[in-house]
């Protein structure tokens, strides 16, 4: 995980804005789906939510702002990606995978920008930051085609 944070820092400062941490949470959540042992087992969702929340907490600490926005958004992304692809709602396809990671990236960015504007003195401009979030979602969409659950292989 430290390598992912370092890579994201380097790419964000020198190239384009990316959200590699959300992609890591998405990949982890998708790969834990096969651990489901019964119809009502919540173990994969809990594991994915904990992983997402801890990745978000590290991102909040490294950002130097208030602790909470990234932790909430990454935890929610971990839970939602694991829950949606648990074969209870639908079976994985490349289109659903790319749509899911794109929407999760948009949701992640919206939560972070909204919470930082509301609860901290650091104001992020609305149109500029949401355009950046949209580009992050476009960069994450191809990853949704490549990653799929072990149960779908």
68 φψ region: left (φ > 0), alpha (ψ -120 to 50), beta (else):
left
Grouping H, G, I as helix, E, B as strand and the rest as coil, residue 64 is coil
- Nearest C-alpha neighbor of 77 from the set 53, 97, 61, 95: 53
pLDDT value of residue 50 = 92
- Model confidence pLDDT, tens digit, residues 6-60: 656 666 556 667 777 888 888 888 888 766 655 556 688 888 899 999 988 888 8
Mean pLDDT of 119-145: 77
Domains and CATH numbers, the chain: 2-152 (1.10.1760)
- Nearest C-alpha neighbor of 69 from the set 130, 103, 118: 118
Radius of gyration of the chain (CA): 15
- Model confidence pLDDT, tens digit, residues 84-95: 776 555 667 788
pLDDT value of residue 113 = 81
Task: Please report how many Cα atoms fall inside a 13 Å half-sphere around the Cα of residue 144, on the Cβ side.
Answer: 22
């Amino acid at each position: 995980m430290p390598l992912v944070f370092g890579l994201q820092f380097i790419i964000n400062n020198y190239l384009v804005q990316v959200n590699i941490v959300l992609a890591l949470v998405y990949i982890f959540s998708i790969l834990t789906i096969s651990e489901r042992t019964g119809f009502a087992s919540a173990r994969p969702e809990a594991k994915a939510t904990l992983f997402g929340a801890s990745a978000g907490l590290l991102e909040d600490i490294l950002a130097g702002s208030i602790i909470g926005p990234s932790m909430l958004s990454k935890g929610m992304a971990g839970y939602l990606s694991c829950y949606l692809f648990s074969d209870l709602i639908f079976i994985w396809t490349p289109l659903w995978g790319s749509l899911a990671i794109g929407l999760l990236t948009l949701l992640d960015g919206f939560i972070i920008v909204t919470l930082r504007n509301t609860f901290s003195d650091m104001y992020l401009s609305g149109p500029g930051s949401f355009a950046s979030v949209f580009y992050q979602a476009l960069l994450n969409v191809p990853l949704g085609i490549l990653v799929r659950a072990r149960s779908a292989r």
